[in-house]
Amino acid sequence: MDATPMLRADAVEGAGVRIRRFRTEDAPAVRAACDDPLTQRFLPALPRPYTEADALWWVAEGSAAGFATGGGNFAVADPATDRLIGGIGLMHIQEDYGSIGYWVAPGARGRGVATAATRTLSEYAFTCGYGRIELRTEFENAASQRVALAAGYTREGVARAAGPDRGGRRHDLIVWARVAGDPPGPTPRHLPDLPGGELTDGVVRLSPMRAADAAEVHPVRSAPDVVGNTVTGIAPGPEDTARYCARAQAAWLADHDVRLTVRDAATGAFAGKVGLQLQDPQAGQAEIDYYLAPTWRGHGYAARAVNLLCGWAFTRTAVERLVAGVHTANLASQRVLERSGFVREGHERRRIPDGSGGRADIYTYALLRPGV
């Protein structure tokens, strides 16, 4: 007896989307969407350029091939007009296990199309006998990671060297999965987005770090006096900082690490970085860190940034206790923490590398949720 799940429907209606079989009249829209730079960036297997002939082959032959083996590729259509606005597919891997992927036409992005389509196909696949569906995303593709979370997928880990690029090199992919019986989403997050997208007190502004920030972040992040106060004491290279900034949103969406740029609220000038690492969600403990460019030190910007971040953590997350470790010789950073209400709790001897082969002592500080 063949236990392979089969996707037999010609169309499935979802919340705001219809997934259906591709048709010949979809070819022009497929060609335009699959030749789009962003689609090409995250789907490197697509032909470049993507031609009319490629689109015609896909709607007539390529999209239909998977249905015979338990998977299938569907057009994502606007239910009001039946016009194509995206594509989504499920590849059967083995038994009741499959892998899902999608793309959205440029004009339909930002409207929740990918989330609705992913949720619709996932739920339909479960009714057809699938027990587990996997979704893989690039670290730099935060939009796709948000789709996974919104559609009820759970981040399970990293598949090393799982994604090839057009140059034949391989890179890591984030693995998400949803199993039969999981709720349709969204998946809860320990570290939600900032309200309104940023934090400000009128003097400083904290914004989520992006790939485009690397040019401003690197000179400060790699400066000797900043490096000397880090855990490793090793200066990052430009490529490391570029990756650090480009993957900041992935770290946040993984509930690992919040990375914020500190800017002057009036001019937008880059002043530094402040961050939070969730150490223990069950215990409600997170650690903060920060640094400023030399020209912005001594004006209270670090304390303002720390206060804003702590306020967000205590009002928007379940964090009960914020901690920080500071080199015993770093008096300026100790003053920042003490101005922000942190209390020194201990002295850890030879706690971290000092960057020159030895080890350094640190003071540990903590701030508790107000009222605790």
Query: What ranges do the domains of the chain cover?
Result: 11-179, 195-368
Q: Which contiguous run of DSSP H or E holds residue 240?
A: helix 238-246
* Residue ranges for the chain with pLDDT beneath 50: 1
Give which of 305, 312, 285 is closest to 368, Cα–Cα: 285
CATH number, domain 11-179: 3.40.630.30
Question: Where are the extended beta strands (E) located within 127-169?
Answer: 132-137, 154-164
Cα-based angle 28, 165, 170 (whole degrees, multiple of 5):
155
The whole-angstrom distance between residue 271's C-alpha and the CA centroid of its chain comes to 24
Reading the block at residue 71, the tokens are 């998977």
pLDDT above 90: percentage of residues in the chain: 89
What pLDDT does 1 receive? 39
**47 SS3 class:** coil
Reading the block at residue 65, the tokens are 């091939």
Question: Are both 11-179 and 195-368 of the same fold?
Answer: yes
Whether 152 and 184 have beta carbons less than 8 Å apart is answered as yes
Residue with tokens 């591709």: 22
Strand order in the sheet with 199-200: 199-200, 204-208, 257-264, 270-280, 285-292, 321-327, 359-368, 343-353
The whole-angstrom distance between residue 322's C-alpha and the CA centroid of its chain comes to 23
Q: DSSP secondary-structure letter at 263?
A: E
Q: Which residues contact 280 (CB under 8 A, 6 or more apart)?
A: none
Give which of 58, 36, 130, 143 is closest to 90, Cα–Cα: 130
CATH number, domain 195-368: 3.40.630.30
